[in-house]
Amino acid sequence: MSTEEIKRYLTELNDELCSMDVKGEICLYGGAVMALAYDARPGTEDAIFEPIRYIRRTAERVAERHGLEKGWLNYAVKMFLAPHKKRILLDLSHLKVYVPTADYMLAMKTLSARANTMDRHDLEVLIQDLGLKEPEEVFSIVKGYYSHKEIKPEAKSLIRELFD
């Protein structure tokens, strides 16, 4: 989805929540963050949100109106999260939209990096945004959030390539 589409759908979610007099919060991850916070590319909508029941219901209505997949706002990312800071990206009347900090996004992207995807570009954008100068800085950030996880050899190679 384009940045404009994501913003429009989130605004419609806000309007739906307003009509029910419910306030909600969403924290976006993955491609949606790269699209909205960094204007880097079209995005996907990995997110966590509260209240789950109301936001799922409103997301389904938005999906029906626009011919989107029912799960366009995907909650599955929750199982991969570690404690992290976030910042408000959109503060609408009935919906606050958050995104994680760049260092946390970098940690997540490094652990999930896959060949032949937008991951390379996303990593470049995040490394540049953070002003990192060497691969070890990236690996240190990952360990700071995910001390129990190993970075895949392919991901390490990709990170090293980005600094060459």
Across the chain, which distance is largest between two alpha carbons, in Å?
Answer: 53
pLDDT average, residue stretch 98-105: 96
Residue 44 in this model has a pLDDT that exceeds 80 = no
* pLDDT the model gives residue 111: 95
* pLDDT the model gives residue 71: 82
Cβ atoms of 133 and 164 closer than 8 Å? no
> What's the CA gap between 162 and 128, in Å, rounded?
10
* pLDDT the model gives residue 39: 79
Reduced to 3 states, what is the DSSP secondary structure of residue 127? helix
* pLDDT the model gives residue 100: 96
Average pLDDT of the residues of the chain: 92
pLDDT bucket at 105, cuts 50 / 70 / 90: very high
- In which order are the strands placed within the sheet that holds 86-91? 46-50, 24-29, 95-100, 86-91
Query: Which of residues 70 and 84 earns the better pLDDT score?
Result: 84
Cβ atoms of 45 and 75 closer than 8 Å? no
The pTM assigned to this predicted structure is 0.88
Q: What kind and span of H or E run contains 97?
A: strand 95-100
* pLDDT the model gives residue 101: 96
* pLDDT the model gives residue 156: 95
> What's the CA gap between 47 and 128, in Å, rounded?
24
> What's the CA gap between 161 and 164, in Å, rounded?
5
Q: What is the DSSP secondary-structure string of 8-69?
A: HHHHHHHHHHHHTT--EEEEEETHHHHHHTT--S----EEEEESHHHHHHHHHHHHHHHT--
